[in-house]
Amino acid sequence: MTRRTILLLTLIVLKFLLQYFLIIPGYELHRDEYLHLDQGSHLAWGFLSVPPVTSWLAWVIQALGNGEWTVRFFPALFGALTILVVWRTVERLGGNLYACLLAGFCTLFSVLLRLNQLFQPNSLDVLCWTALYYFLISFIQTDNRRWLYAFAAVFAIGFLNKYNIAFAVVGLLPAILLTPQRKMLLNRHIYLALLLALLLISPNLIWQYQNNFPVFHHMKLLAETQLVNVNRADFLKEQLLFFMSAIFVIVAGLYGLLVHKPLAPYRLFFFSIIITLAVFTYLRAKSYYAIGIYPVYIAFGAAYIGAKVKAAWLRGVFLLIPIILFIPLFYVAFPNKTPEEIAANPEPYQKLGMLRWEDGKDHQLPQDFADMVGWRELAGKVDAAYASMPEKAATLVLCDNYGQAGAINYYSKAGVKAVSFNADYVNWFDLSKRYKHLIRVKSWGDGEDEMKETGPLFATGYAADSVTNRYAREWGTTVFVFRDARIDINARIEKEIAEERW
């Protein structure tokens, strides 16, 4: 085994260790993860919020036991593969071993450590962006058509994982036209590769058509509820934070693309990043949508620095910078302190604005961390209510949001299958059963209204329990029990499903 291989494997092993080390026991899965895991039980060619790949991974996770360790393995794997592709990109660019190490350190000690903790489409999205760029670099260098087909295949995988990867192509096409690389557009294999990509993604496109294009409904909801609040200036500021420890390398890469002769064939990438960021900024995209752009520029920068910087002491400093800048992030960016410790010492989090939630108010924990506690408690209390029901098969467990429904389904020991009119759960009601009883999981603050609105529809109703973990975002969420319906529950559900569907 060569020294180069040993160093690469060391980085990958360190990546896996950090992914598990930076989250302490006591934190559960994130609310978004529960939805993606439930999608594995409802395989389809598409979902309201995402394409199908995440559901395929969820199905594999279920086959492997569905444990939290397994859930966290796949995003960690995609993060490790991202490091591998960045390393190979540096090699493809002619970078030396030092350049590979520098790129590896910058990729390792970055926002990806947090991103790769969560079972969401984002980790695979970043890997696909990075691989897409790698295959394009390989084609430019070798003119071998196989890289075009690899480009098409990885685009299709990325598209079936998260539509976001389309913006990579949106940035690349004009950039190609602005440089001498426009000659590649005369290669017929580009168009054959395009047809291959279209063929691979067609099942999802057909599903979108058959279901009235829910992706547009989802984008409309995002635009109305979340993206409308995105400040364009904040989007650009946050880009600096994602790879803060690698900014000097990314800047060196952009400069190298303009002046370094060995990088001249890849100058289209200088224009590509500008175009892609401009499109994201114009559309008020969430800042993390752009994370996949940067790993390849780390590779460009590392290759340039590796060629230009010869002084051993300066090389050593450049290797230390990503580690040194990571240290302050270690203390605030990860769920590696208990909620009690964070609440007792909130200043570091408050200074960075991490305690401010979507409601515009400061809370005891960062919102992401509060979304990782209280779920087992909720599931346990729903199980207790379910155990008290006279006819379990005729009992519907209805939640306010997908986090509640997914967490109950994940942690329930009584086999509860909760649903919601929120997100994809609106399609997962089992109306082959005739429901007589209802367990209603209601978010904090709505309990009184729930008794007034739902109570009269049943012979009896009461609040059974609530989430008492004050650090949980679901603190106060109440479990209501309603028995012996006076109405046709199924007919009521069908009506509400029709109103909620896109």
Mean pLDDT, residues 193-213:
94
Coil, helix or strand at residue 50: coil
What angle do helix axes 268-282 and 247-259 make, rounded to 10 degrees? Answer: 130
Nearest to 335 by CA among 71, 80, 26, 70: 26
Residues 6+ apart with CB under 8 A from 444: 466, 474, 475, 476, 477, 478
Q: Is the dihedral of CA 377, 380, 382, 385 positive or negative?
A: negative
Nearest in space to 432 (alpha carbons), one of 468, 380, 393, 405: 393
Segment 214-221 shows an average pLDDT of 70
Reference 35, options 347, 355, 422; nearest CA is 422
Rg (CA), the chain: 25
Q: By three-state DSSP, how is residue 142 classified?
A: helix
CA quadruple 479, 484, 489, 490: dihedral, nearest 10:
110
Q: What is the DSSP letter of 279?
A: H
Q: Say if residue 352 is exposed, middle or buried (CB neighbours under 10 Å; 0-12, 13-18, 19+).
A: middle
Residues recorded for the chain: 502
Side-chain half-sphere exposure of 276, counting CA atoms within 13 A: 27
The structure tokens listed for 341 are 């410790």
The yes-or-no verdict on residue 230 having pLDDT over 70 is no
The average pLDDT across 97-105 equals: 97
Q: Is 349 exposed, middle or buried (0-12, 13-18, 19+ CB in 10 A)?
A: buried
Predicted TM-score (pTM) of the model is: 0.93
The pLDDT, as a whole number, for residue 446 is 60
pLDDT score at 41 = 95
Query: What DSSP assignment string belongs to 433-496?
Result: S---EEEEEE-TT-HHHHHHHHGGGEEEEEEEEE---TTSTTTT-EEEEEEEESS-HHHHHHHH
Contact 455, 461 (CB under 8 A): yes
Residue 446: phi and psi, rounded to 5, are -110, 10
* Strand arrangement of the beta sheet that strand 458-466 belongs to: 419-420, 395-399, 437-442, 478-485, 458-466
- pLDDT of residue 354 exceeding 60: yes
Lowest-confidence range among 318-322, 350-354, 385-389? Answer: 350-354
The H or E element that residue 141 is part of is helix 122-142
Quote the pLDDT of residue 260. Answer: 96
Q: Which helix (H) or strand (E) holds 282?
A: helix 268-282
Query: Per-residue pLDDT for 360 more than 90?
Result: no
351 to each of 286, 342, 473, how far by Cα in Å? 21, 13, 21
Average pLDDT of every residue of the chain = 92
Q: Report whether pLDDT(135) > 80.
A: yes
Look at residue 226 and tell me whether its pLDDT is greater than 70. Answer: no
Q: What is the 3-state secondary structure (H, E, C) of 413-437?
A: CCCCCCEECCHHHHHCCCCCCCCCE
Mean pLDDT within 121-142: 97
- The dihedrals phi and psi of 376, each to the nearest 5 degrees, come to -65, -40
Q: Are 375 and 477 in contact (CB under 8 A)?
A: no
Mean of the pLDDT values across residues 357-370? 88
pLDDT at 113: 94
Encode pLDDT of 273-325 as tens digits.
999 999 999 888 888 899 999 999 999 999 999 999 999 999 999 999 999 99
| Least confident window among 4-13, 167-176, 240-249 | 240-249
Pairing assessment for the beta strands 437-442 and 419-420 based on DSSP bridges: unpaired
Q: Which ranges in 67-116 belong to alpha helices (H)?
A: 68-92, 97-108, 112-115
Asked whether the predicted pLDDT for residue 227 surpasses 90, the reply is: no
CA distance 343 to 360: 18
245 band by pLDDT with thresholds 50, 70 and 90: confident
Share of the chain above pLDDT 90, in %: 81
- The DSSP secondary structure of 195-260, one letter per residue, reads HHHHHHHHHHHHHHHHTT-HHHHHHHHHHHHTGGG--HHHHHHHHHHHTGGGHHHHHHHHHHHHH-
Q: Would you state the pLDDT for residue 420?
A: 95
Average pLDDT over residues 182-193: 94
Give the up-direction half-sphere exposure of residue 393: CA atoms within 13 A in the CB hemisphere. Answer: 3
pLDDT above 90 for 352: no
